[in-house]
Amino acid sequence: MDCVEEPVNVLVLSESLKPYDEALLGVGLNSRGFSKIGELVECLPALVCAGLILDIPSVMKAESAERDRLFKLTQSLPILRARVERNGRAVFLDDVDHFIHNCKNVCPSRMRTVRRYSTRLNVLISREDDPAMTKTRPANILNISSKGCYVHTLDPVESSAFIYLKILELANTTPIFGLIRWSKPWGEKHVLPGMGVAFLDITDEQVREIESGAHFIPDPLEGRSESSPG
């Protein structure tokens, strides 16, 4: 039994909403747009929605506390990343058909449809303001999917912060831009410290290599909700 009935309602967060109104015509989605995170969060409790479309530049401009509140409230929703190009056209950075499928058929508590792999990868991490990665910290990735990963690190981390990740074992080591969606500090019982990272900007080549499962071990715990990065 589906979680939602037709029509499918999604929320759009973007400083420029018109390009998304045009892009969503004919794809079977009803959208309601918000130009500011605060406005979306304020209205969210009264809204019935099945997914969230995020304009990445707009999210990046928001304050950390606002991003944190947004992702806590929408962590169970399918997310479609997008941006508006210079020609004024909205482009989607993820598979739209996959997003629509999740919106129509996947309950928040159901299994993810993106495969996750346990692994042991070496990664270098830098802050949002260091895209050249001149000041990096070493860490390890313990599980990964094309949507995100879990990074094991003893360093303190801040949820809702943006980071760059350079995964050394990938054939293409172009830094991946990501968002820390949640974190676990050192000292919690029976918990490895680290952070769940959602990939926001990743190359097609990297996606293909990750999804191929090459050099990775299938995770026996595969099947947590789509909202969990990695």
Element spanning 104, H or E: helix 96-105
Q: For the domain that residue 179 is a member of, what is the CATH number?
A: 2.40.10.220
pTM: predicted TM-score of the whole model, two decimal places = 0.57
Same domain, 49 and 123: no
**128 in any annotated domain:** yes
**223 in any annotated domain:** no
Same domain, 196 and 125: yes
Q: Which of 72, 105, 138 finishes a domain?
A: 105
Residue 3 CB contacts under 8 Å (≥ 6 apart), including other chains: 50, 105, 106, 107, 108
Same domain, 86 and 144: no
Omega of the bond leading into 7 within 30 degrees of 0 (cis): yes
Same domain, 72 and 130: no
Same domain, 137 and 83: no
> What's the rounded Cα separation, in Å, for the pair 159 and 180?
5
Same domain, 122 and 214: yes
**210 in any annotated domain:** yes
pLDDT in tens, 28-52: 778 889 998 888 877 776 777 888 9
**85 in any annotated domain:** yes
Same domain, 13 and 98: yes
Give the strand pairing for 194-201 and 148-152. Answer: antiparallel
User: Which range of residues forms the domain containing residue 14?
Assistant: 8-105
Domain count, the chain: 2
Provide long-range contacts, Cβ within 8 A and 24+ apart, for 152-156.
152/192, 152/193, 152/194, 153/125, 153/193, 153/194, 153/195, 154/186, 154/193, 156/185
Task: Please give the mean pLDDT across all residues of the chain.
Answer: 81
How far is CA 164 from each of CA 125, 170, 182, 194, 224, rounded to the nearest angstrom?
6, 15, 16, 15, 25
pLDDT in tens, 53-87: 999 988 888 887 788 778 777 777 888 899 999 89
**110 in any annotated domain:** no
Element spanning 123, H or E: strand 117-127
Report the pLDDT value the prediction gives residue 176, as an integer from 0 to 100.
Answer: 93
Same domain, 123 and 152: yes
pLDDT in tens, 86-136: 898 898 888 888 888 888 764 443 334 567 888 999 999 998 888 899 999
Arithmetic mean of pLDDT, 194-203: 86
Same domain, 134 and 49: no
Same domain, 19 and 73: yes
Same domain, 38 and 85: yes
**134 in any annotated domain:** yes
Q: Name the residue type at position 10.
A: V
Q: Which of 74, 105, 136 finishes a domain?
A: 105
